[in-house]
Amino acid sequence: MTSLSPVLKQATPVVVDHALGSWIFGTDGEQYLDFTTGIGVTSTGHCHPKVVAAAREQVGKIIHAQYTTVMHKPLLELTEKLGEVLPAGLDSVFYANSGSEAVEAAIRLARMATGRPNIVVFQGGFHGRTVAAASLTTAGTKFSAGFAPLMAGVHMSVFPHMYRYGMDEASVVAFALRELDYLFKTRTAPEDTAAFLIEPALGDGGYIPTPPAFMDGLRERANRHGIQLIFDEVQAASGARASSGATSTPRRPQISSSPPRASPPASPSRRSPPPPRPCPRPGPAPKAEPTAATLSLQQRAWRPSR
């Protein structure tokens, strides 16, 4: 009998029949309050009527169209909508199939734009499960155990985690920035460093917002040394928290990898070398859904009943 691979841990035995809003209804007749939002994907709730309507309408027109061959209306509409919510200067969008692919595209973009090899990541970060993305992940050895060697040129620095280090915010930020400067002296010189890769809100490492003062320190060092600042917002953006990801901070990144609900990654067009070419990218239906989701998040009017 064929079964699901055990490589991914199964958190619950629930088999879903259907879902609505924040509620999941199981085949066992029980209903469950979903605190995970599909691990951050269903930021408008399950089966938001506008998202459902957009998907149904689109699959009746065309299901897939590779946009390196032909463009389509949902692609153009979503790109225009992203221009309304992304920070000024992030005006070039590359659509990827997953968060891991978006992060890898961001890393390739930073290396090609700077001509430098090294990436600085931060303690507790999660950036994906593919080989390169797992090489950038520091949230646990379970993400990279068993398939060494990992991608070279990755250096980890301290994340300003108040609870882990038992310091107040100002003290832990100062400590983390000192450690970053020490990393520049001992592991990767600024002139060899292509990018800082950080989650604006730490995900698997503890769900801790990155202190604004630390972002200021990264921005200052990035400007001083010509280093790209990359925000990995796959878990943190577009309705997953109160603000709209990179748009909520004056510490604008050069590159932002956002989730499927907002389509990754975005960068300034003037700094965009040819992107990596993945397998066929998401087609019209997946483009129609985040457009509807973005509009719904902006309106925030739907309140489904149980």
What is the domain-level CATH number for residue 267? 3.40.640.10
- Answer whether residue 151 is part of any domain: yes
Residue 19 in tokens: 């879902």
Do 268 and 120 have their domain in common? yes
- 63 near 305, Cβ under 8 Å? no
- Answer whether residue 203 is part of any domain: yes
Residue 11 in tokens: 């958190």
Most confident of 62-76, 87-101, 181-195: 181-195
Provide DSSP, 152-199: SSEEEE----HHHHT--HHHHHHHHHHHHHHHHHHT--GGGEEEEEE-
**Alpha carbon distance 183, 199 (integer Å):** 19
- Answer whether residue 110 is part of any domain: yes
What residues make up the domain containing 121?
A: 73-282
When pLDDT is averaged across residues 81-86 and rounded to a whole number, the result is: 84
Do 6 and 104 have their domain in common? no
The residue to which tokens 């070398």 are assigned:
273
pTM above 0.85, yes or no: no
- Answer whether residue 292 is part of any domain: no
Do 168 and 86 have their domain in common? yes
Residue 87 in tokens: 């920070």
pLDDT, position 217: 98
| Mean pLDDT (the chain, rounded) | 84
Do 257 and 157 have their domain in common? yes
pLDDT over threshold 60, residue 170: yes
At 257, is the secondary structure helix, strand, or coil? strand
Do 199 and 271 have their domain in common? yes
Do 128 and 228 have their domain in common? yes
pLDDT over threshold 80, residue 300: no
**Alpha carbon distance 49, 10 (integer Å):** 29
Do 23 and 160 have their domain in common? no
Do 19 and 133 have their domain in common? no
Tell me the CA distances in angstroms from 109 to 138, 199, 263, 278, 284, one per residue in order. 21, 18, 16, 14, 25
pLDDT, position 96: 87
- Answer whether residue 291 is part of any domain: no
pLDDT, position 262: 39
Do 98 and 9 have their domain in common? no
How many whole angstroms from its chain centre is CA 214?
Answer: 19
- Look at the chain and report how many structural domains it folds into: 2
In the structure, what pLDDT confidence band is assigned to residue 264 with cuts at 50, 70 and 90? very low
CA atoms within 13 A on the CB side of 132: 13
Do 119 and 258 have their domain in common? yes
The residue to which tokens 């050069």 are assigned:
254
pLDDT, position 283: 62
* Amino acid identity at 17: D
- Answer whether residue 52 is part of any domain: no
**Alpha carbon distance 242, 265 (integer Å):** 21
- Answer whether residue 82 is part of any domain: yes
Per-residue model confidence as pLDDT tens digits over 122-168: 999 999 999 999 999 999 999 998 888 999 999 999 999 999 999 99
**Alpha carbon distance 129, 136 (integer Å):** 9
pLDDT, position 37: 78
Do 88 and 204 have their domain in common? yes
Torsion of CA 196, 201, 206, 212, to 10 degrees: 80
Per-residue model confidence as pLDDT tens digits over 207-253: 899 999 999 999 999 999 999 999 999 887 644 444 444 444 556 78
- Answer whether residue 199 is part of any domain: yes
Do 138 and 244 have their domain in common? yes
In the structure, what pLDDT confidence band is assigned to residue 299 with cuts at 50, 70 and 90? low
